[in-house]
Amino acid sequence: MTPAQGASHAAFTSYFSTEPRILCAAPAARLGLADALRQLAASAWAEIAVGDQVDVRVGEESLTDYLLMRLAAAVPGRVAVQKYRRHEEAQHGADYEFLLGSRRRFVRLRIQAKRVDLSVRAVPEYRYRELWKSRNNATGHPTYQIDALIQAARAVRPVAFPVYAFYNAWNVRRIGAADSRCRRVLPLVDLLGWTLAPAEVIRVLPHTAGGTELRAVNQWAHSIACEIGAVDEARGATPLADAVQERINSVLGAFEAAMRRGVVPGADAGADRPGDLRRVAVHEGLDELPPHLERLFAADRPGDRGSADGIVESELAGPPEDDPALGYSVLIRDDRLGG
């Protein structure tokens, strides 16, 4: 652990107001992106754990609202958030999307959020019970949420990469004190409060009607503090889009290698086989973007409308036409590449 890492983790509690008359969760000061994501991952863990202790379950939508609001407030100028008035529940589309980079060069992630289910204490494993939700399509056959997320991400233009965000906390005496498994961040279990994993990887993992077990997901889901925060911190002159692309594609490559070795027990035999998993695309020099993305990129700089607090559009704005369930678009701007 470096002194800087130790200081960052020691400052977790300073992210929240210590004013005795006010109980709030707004950042006390501006933060760097990596520090903000480390603190937010830990805060997601704390909120889930406390909610479970007092029998007030905090759901995915509430966690998403708080995490994105805090991220925008903590890193203004680099992070811009556009919230939409959704036309339908996000049961088969994405909850939010990340744009990482600049108008000239970026990657696009479409993200569905799931929180760990701690409610059934008798089972040996915590699990994500709603990963395999389904509804009948026009022909009466079930469409699974995970497949709809993957298909929708492939269909939008510019194409997006489908990702699951997992919101976590668990009793370490039952599951074990796993760490963030990222050499660039502190090996602390609470950094797994907010993790990311490619949806196509999650689709292959063994599952039952009761969901997918947390242990199986945790092999391939990594803290957002690693996947985005540490990648941004360590990328040097590499564009943010390229650094994120390389990181996610390395996870896909490692998963395919594990599949070839037969060390992913119970993997879905009907899923895409090794070599079939699609990689992250970097979009460069596009002449035209959907209107909601043009607005987002146009409002990402200090001094633009609403950028003082990172919020660039009212939640009354309608969602993009290609996904009426989308709740947010989030831009994480490349501060080393203009535009």
Can you say how many angstroms the Cα of residue 162 is from the centroid of all Cα atoms in its chain? 10
Q: Is residue 287 in some structural domain?
A: yes
Spell out, as residue ranges, where the chain has pLDDT lower than 50: 1-19, 122, 179-180, 269-275, 300, 302-309, 311-316
- Closest CA relative to residue 126, chosen from 194, 195, 216, 40: 216
Cα gap 283→242, rounded to integer Å:
10
- Determine the 3-state secondary structure of 79 from DSSP: strand
Q: Is residue 140 in some structural domain?
A: yes
Query: Can you name the residues that pair with 213 across neighbouring β-strands?
Result: 127
pLDDT of residue 7: 38
pLDDT of residue 218: 85
pLDDT of residue 129: 81
Cα gap 290→103, rounded to integer Å:
12
Query: Is the four-CA dihedral 119, 122, 127, 130 of positive or negative sign?
Result: negative
Residue the block writes with tokens 């074990």: 176
Q: Is residue 164 in some structural domain?
A: yes
Q: Which pTM was predicted?
A: 0.86
Structural domain boundaries enclosing 233 = 3-333
pLDDT of residue 272: 47
Q: Is residue 36 in some structural domain?
A: yes
Question: Around 100, how many Cα atoms within 13 Å sit in the side-chain half-sphere?
Answer: 27
| Residues 6 or more apart in contact with residue 67 via CB below 8 angstroms | 40, 43, 44, 194
Q: How many domains does the chain have?
A: 1
- Length of the chain as a residue count: 339
pLDDT of residue 55: 86
Q: Is residue 338 in some structural domain?
A: no
Q: Is residue 23 in some structural domain?
A: yes
Burial-class residue 148 by CB neighbours within 10 Å (0-12, 13-18, 19+). buried
- Determine the 3-state secondary structure of 283 from DSSP: strand
Q: Is residue 130 in some structural domain?
A: yes
pLDDT of residue 123: 52
